């Protein structure tokens, strides 16, 4: 059975590996990471990877100010972590800077469906539940303050990369899936919400196929092998 949490994560990485965009032999940095990321890295087959959390302690990296040199890792990945940063854009650009081949992010997409879901209480704008019981961690930048759930669009990703790296034309692939948070609905104590999740979950795969842009699972793989602009003095692709 496809795991509802790691399924999309693994599927996207395996697609990129199968097409030769990335390799299990690549060096990988995972930012804003944790145990789930480690499990996925091993499941997919990466042999060389580093998992870093959100804060700037000695054992971890601040995702918005990575200490690594440009191109220090072949691949840089963030799964559901950018929206825990004070500046998700800055963290994404740091990922891109440190990556030699590709930066891959998994986040929520900003869509009419998601805005409607927030309005009717089916999902949230602030992750209050992510804060630890002692109120000291789990929020924005791993603080006790609940983080805003920053949701992206394709155009927004494209503009951020084009601005940061004007030497090349952005080469970005987008992926979509729909995940119904049935476990969170069950914990909410709201019977109507729990019933909604139970009824709609079996239809999620059909919905994802018909209206991918309205899905809540969203990933983007930003390749650094895009075509260089004429003003760089090189017309060929640069790895």
**Structural domains in the chain?**
7-109+125-179+218-225 (3.40.50.150)
Nearest-angstrom CA–CA distance, 14 and 22: 9
Mean pLDDT of all residues in 158-182: 89
Residue whose C-alpha is closest to residue 36's, from 15, 16, 7, 11: 7
Nearest-angstrom CA–CA distance, 99 and 68: 10
Q: Is the pLDDT of residue 56 over 60?
A: no
- Helix locations, the chain, DSSP H: 7-18, 35-44, 88-98, 112-119, 154-164, 182-187, 191-200, 204-210
pLDDT score for 57: 43
pLDDT 10s digits, 58-106: 347 899 999 999 999 999 999 999 999 999 999 999 999 999 999 999 9
- In terms of phi and psi (left: phi > 0; alpha: psi -120 to 50; beta: otherwise), the region of 121 is left
CB 123 within 8 A of CB 117: yes
Which CA distances in Å does 42 have to 26, 39, 187?
13, 5, 30
pLDDT score for 202: 58
Mean pLDDT of all residues in 205-209: 63
Q: Is the pLDDT of residue 3 over 70?
A: no
Token pair, residue 177, equals 């899936």
Q: Please tell me the least confidently modeled range out of 14-18, 37-41, 78-82, 111-115.
A: 111-115
Q: Is the pLDDT of residue 187 over 90?
A: no
Which residues make beta-bridge pairs with 227? Answer: 237
pLDDT score for 114: 86
DSSP 28: E
Q: Is the pLDDT of residue 154 over 60?
A: yes
CA within 13 Å, CB half, 115: 5
pLDDT score for 177: 85
CB 67 within 8 A of CB 59: no
Mean pLDDT of all residues in 175-202: 61
Distance linking the first and last C-alpha atoms of the chain: 37
Q: Is the pLDDT of residue 4 over 70?
A: no
Nearest-angstrom CA–CA distance, 124 and 118: 5
Burial 190-210 (b: 16+ CB within 10 A, else e): eeebbebbeeebeebeeebee
Q: Please tell me the least confidently modeled range out of 15-24, 42-51, 82-91, 230-239.
A: 230-239
Q: Is 187 exposed, middle or buried (0-12, 13-18, 19+ CB in 10 A)?
A: exposed
Mean pLDDT of all residues in 112-128: 88
CB 217 within 8 A of CB 234: no
Average pLDDT, rounded, for the chain: 85
Residues 6+ apart with CB under 8 A from 221: 12, 16, 21, 102, 103, 104, 172, 173, 175
């Amino acid at each position: 059975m496809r795991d509802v949490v790691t399924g999309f994560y693994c599927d996207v990485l395996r697609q990129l590996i199968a097409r030769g965009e990335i390799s299990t032999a690549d060096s990988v940095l995972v930012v804003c990471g944790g145990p789930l990321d480690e499990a996925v890295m091993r499941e997919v087959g990466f042999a060389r990877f580093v998992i870093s959390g959100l804060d700037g302690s000695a054992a971890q990296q601040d995702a918005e100010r990575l200490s690594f040199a440009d191109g220090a890792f072949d691949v840089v990945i963030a799964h559901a972590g950018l929206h825990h940063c004070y500046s998700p854009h800055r963290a994404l650009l740091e990922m891109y800077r440190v990556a030699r081949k590709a930066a891959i992010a998994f986040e929520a997409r900003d869509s009419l469906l998601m805005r409607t879901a927030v309005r009717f209480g089916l999902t949230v704008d602030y992750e209050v539940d992510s804060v630890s019981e002692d109120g000291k961690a789990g929020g924005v930048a791993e603080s006790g303050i609940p983080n805003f759930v920053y949701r992206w669009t394709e155009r927004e990703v494209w503009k951020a990369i084009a601005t940061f790296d004007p030497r090349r034309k952005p080469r970005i692939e987008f992926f979509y899936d729909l995940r119904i948070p049935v476990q969170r609905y069950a914990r909410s104590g709201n019977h109507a919400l729990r019933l909604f999740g139970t009824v709609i979950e079996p239809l999620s795969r059909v919905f994802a196929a018909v209206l991918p842009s309205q899905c809540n699972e969203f990933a983007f793989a930003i390749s650094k092998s895009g075509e260089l602009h004429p003003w760089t003095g090189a017309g060929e692709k640069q790895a």
